[in-house]
Structure 1
């Protein structure tokens, strides 16, 4: 037994000596290569001018110790963290960078909103792309199919909403003198008009084609500018969404490389779960809003309310807003229905009271159960904070972000506190 131990120890010692000699030989070879490189550079310096870029690059490669594994040179020793000067300089630099970053974010706020919206849409549409990929559809083609569906929806929304708006605006301009005359026939309005003369001025204004036309033209120009800006932002949003949606796997892989290797796998799993919850929330919100819009369209057609398709799409868009979106849509549809008749308005109001109870206590819990599980109090607080910061977009992002924070607290923060 002792002999075997001695033999093993001798073999280990011999292996260590061979490894040391190999390391010494490798270092000597490396030093020889460096010296040879320096000699070549010195020989080239005798021929080439001192400021030659090739010579300068060769010198920097030798000094940086470039090899196959380190094409840009080997990392140097980290700086000492005990230097008071370095600590003070780092703190001052951090404050300056933070201030500059805040100023820059404020300056490009509109661009950041577009980027954030595009990223949110891309994450929300990713489950559809993944489903198509599982059916042997290439990612590029799957992205094209999904975006074509989104574009088709917004095109249909435009064709459904724009014609009624144009028609009603033209009718309003045409009937403006008549409306003023009807107001003059009202006894109470006539008494106020006798004191202030407002209706006479309005009658003169709308009856003068030049003045009324000029004002209308100015309004048309302003509307045109708004429409062009909206069109440009929409196109830019679609392009950004296309980029994020097609490049999302690459973006995630590059982001995970910034995480230390020991934590990369866990961070990747948590991040994938967060993205999955955001995508599930978007899919669930679209499903609930789609159900509400289809039922609204059916009801309005049955009751004979004008422009049922446009109103149904309006319900779909407002239904995407958390907490208050469905109520806003219900109020608008009820007010429009009242113009048809009081009876129709009452029927629509009763329908929405009943439907919202079903949506809140039946549809929403079942559809959203698998994607987000946020308490009602946290939902209200998150929506209020998000709406205050970014408006409607902030309200849309609030619930999935709250779900992500809740997941991080549960899987990262709480276990650390339990170990103390």
Structure 2
């Protein structure tokens, strides 16, 4: 047998060209699209629960430095440190409610008591009489009161408000329970997360992870410091202005200041509206005072505190808060700044060194 025959025998007959199975490709592609759609629907259905988990995990990580400080300084077991922090938070919430409820109840009672006389005085004014002659305000108001559809709408609105209140209380309770769970199991969760990294890189990842946790705790501490400064300044001014509810309004200013970007503005508006009840002059003065203080806080106090806490440029903080608020509302604005701080740590410790070695 010649060499040419062996070559032909080894290669055999030429194979026909391979044609892809378009039906199989389309079927697999359709299954992939269906799986992606089902996954998106599932994530949308549990998005609220995922937000609860994310907020609780953020709070647990943020409170962890305080727990570790109590554990090291006072030599307390971790469960005792967690219990101390929880009792402290409960005490702060109780004090806030205790300061808020009496003046709020007094003002509501005063408003309801004076409502008939206020309406009578309004009807006697020349302005209201002219408006009533042109638009029949009183007649339309009486028709609206006796209209059954209006009653149904009011009842539906009350039911909606009750549902919102119930959902809010349920959300707060869920977040608190999840936060307590995450605080107790945070070391185990972090150790399990680090074990997913190869052993050769585990030490470096642990250092970066611990630094990120510390930065989140520093962010919460910095935000609390900014809020405390705002509350103290508001109390001193309102007390000097003679407000009977200086402490309550100051607490409102401090609590709302925990909200990035718009928090101080909301609290200042509440305090300003309350001071307008004492007269237009003191109301305008209060408005000017809080406008000036808001500029000082935005450009002096908050940038310095947050720069030391999260080591992120103020422009990046503002941009992150705006983007987070647009994506996830208030929760996104709260989580955006520590997220940017974590990304900054990864860039400085991992990405930039690798790029420099190339």
* TM-score (normalised: structure 2): 0.81
How far apart are the structure 2 equivalents of 1:172 and 1:258? 61
Counterpart check, 1:338 vs 2:255: no
How far apart are the structure 2 equivalents of 1:166 and 1:204? 31
The answer as to whether partners of 2:223 and 2:258 remain within 8 angstroms in 1 is yes
Matched length: 333
- Counterpart residue number, 2:38: 100
Q: For residues 150-202 of structure 1, what are the alpha-carbon distances to aligned partners after superposition, in whole Å with 9 as ceiling and x for unaligned?
A: 11212222233334444444444444443433332232332222232122343
- Counterpart residue number, 1:126: 64
How far apart are the structure 2 equivalents of 1:218 and 1:176? 24
The answer as to whether partners of 2:307 and 2:313 remain within 8 angstroms in 1 is no
Q: For residues 181-238 of structure 1, what are the alpha-carbon distances to aligned partners after superposition, in whole Å with 9 as ceiling and x for unaligned?
A: 33322323322222321223436767x8x99999987766554443333333222221
How far apart are the structure 2 equivalents of 1:195 and 1:242? 61
- Counterpart residue number, 1:200: 139
How far apart are the structure 2 equivalents of 1:380 and 1:265? 33
Query: How far has the Cα of 1:96 moved from its partner?
Result: 5.5
Higher CA-based Rg: 1
Counterpart check, 1:393 vs 2:331: yes
Q: Structure 2: which 5+ runs fail to align?
A: 1-19
How far apart are the structure 2 equivalents of 1:203 and 1:179? 18
How far apart are the structure 2 equivalents of 1:191 and 1:361? 49
TM-align CA RMSD: 3.2
Map 1:9-408 to 2 at 5 A: 98-134=36-72, 135-202=74-141, 222-408=160-346
Query: How far has the Cα of 1:279 moved from its partner?
Result: 0.8
Query: How far has the Cα of 1:137 moved from its partner?
Result: 0.9
* TM-score (normalised: structure 1): 0.70
- Pick from 337, 344, 351 the counterpart of residue 413 of structure 1: 351
How far apart are the structure 2 equivalents of 1:212 and 1:174? 24
Query: How far has the Cα of 1:291 moved from its partner?
Result: 1.7
The answer as to whether partners of 2:56 and 2:182 remain within 8 angstroms in 1 is yes
Alpha-carbon distance change, 192 to 347 in structure 1, aligned in 2, over 3 angstroms: closer
Q: Structure 1: which 5+ runs fail to align?
A: 1-83
Deviates more, 1:360-369 or 1:307-316: 360-369
The answer as to whether partners of 2:60 and 2:183 remain within 8 angstroms in 1 is yes
Structure with the greater relative contact order (CA < 8 A, sep ≥ 6): 1 or 2? 2
